[in-house]
Amino acid sequence: MEEALLRYEQHLARRPLSDNSRKAFLGDARIFSRYVCGGGQQGGSLQAARITAEHIKGFLAEQARSRAAASPKSIERRLTSLKVFFRWLHETGQIPLDPADGVAYKPFVDPLPEYLSDAEVSAVIQAARALAHSTRLEMRPLTAILLVLDTGIKKGECLNLLGSDVALDDPDGATIWVRYDKRHLQFKERRLPISDECAQGVRAHMSRYDCGPQDRLFDCTGRNLEYIFNRKIAPQAGVPALTFEMLRWTCAVRDFRAGKWSSEQLQARYGLSAVGWAEMLAKLERLTRVGGSGEEKTADDQAGLPA
């Protein structure tokens, strides 16, 4: 295991990951290694190729009893890290089988995120349009809603957009650029297409608020926008609540169900590290139904319960 961990550390050093992600990946793998090779079952060294799903399940069971990592979220992160580690070992030919592939996430580990059905999306956009055409011409909520539904960007990414990040007249189609100033986060930078409907909304928004190239699209905080979401839009749309996170997950569920992108493309589209994508993918698989139409959510989905 030690040799495999050294190679894994070198692999992580070459990946465009944040320092925290590298530490989490490597740290969890080392904790597991100590369990199987040291104070755990074996009492000595153990080759990575001899690791089985039972080793991983035993490790997770011990972690669940440990005060150091007793929270369900911590257990889920440990499993995610091990899945990434052993998938890399398998894909690089260092082990014949991936022992973590058969270890399932427990459904109670983390509450599923809330998202909107197609009917709710239509109602939310209709309510936001009504607000945009009211006497105050409050267009900011509509623009934010269209952008996040189209691209799945995070609240902070949306609020950080500048006029220069928007390309509405590109002959290949309108796009936005998501940018990061910090070097260790620049792997999250990406160019995302937006629909004609969204582009028209952004154009009207920039005209209404006189947004120049160096101006932020939104001259307010995320809290202010979500206050308007829940006071002016959600009640009119007939939804109990509306947040940026719900809009992002709505986009993710739609993208996942559409099946147009590979796993790697979706990871890049959402600007996620390998660990972040593994966590999102696990939730998307639980949220969606194999062979389902994707038109409506089940009662469990609406309640935010595991599928």
As for how many domains the chain has, the answer is 2
Same domain, 169 and 289: yes
For the cut 50, the answer to whether the pLDDT of residue 266 exceeds it is: yes
Percent of the chain whose predicted confidence (pLDDT) is above 90: 64
Same domain, 218 and 267: yes
State the pLDDT at residue 22.
Answer: 87
pLDDT in tens, 57-109: 999 888 887 766 557 778 888 899 999 999 999 999 999 999 998 898 775 44
In 3D space, the residue among 295, 136, 145, 294 whose CA is nearest the CA of residue 234 turns out to be: 145
**214 lies in the same domain as 263:** yes
Q: Are 168 and 147 in contact (CB under 8 A)?
A: no
**Mean pLDDT of the 265-287 span:** 91
Residue 223 within any structural domain of the chain = yes
- Other C-beta atoms within 10 Å of 214: how many? 8
CATH number for the domain harbouring residue 206: 1.10.443.10
What is the average pLDDT value for the chain, to the nearest integer? 87
Asked if the model's pLDDT at residue 186 lies above 80, the reply is: yes
Domain assignment present for residue 112? The answer is no
151: which residues sit within 8 A by CB, 6+ positions away?
Answer: 176, 192, 194, 251
Q: Say what the pTM is.
A: 0.66
Determine the Cα–Cα distance for residues 134 and 136; give it in Å rounded to an integer: 5
Residue span of the structural domain in which 65 resides: 2-91
* CATH code for the domain in which residue 55 is found: 1.10.150
Last residue of a domain, one of 75, 91, 107: 91
Work out whether the CA dihedral 158, 159, 161, 163 comes out positive or negative. Answer: positive
> Is residue 153 located within the same domain as residue 212?
yes
pLDDT for 235-263, tens place per residue? 999 999 999 999 999 999 999 999 999 99
Look at 30-34, 142-146, 279-283, 288-292 and tell me which has the smallest mean pLDDT: 288-292
- Which pLDDT value is given to residue 67? 63
- The answer, yes or no, to whether residue 300 has pLDDT greater than 50, is no
Q: Do residues 81 and 129 share a domain?
A: no
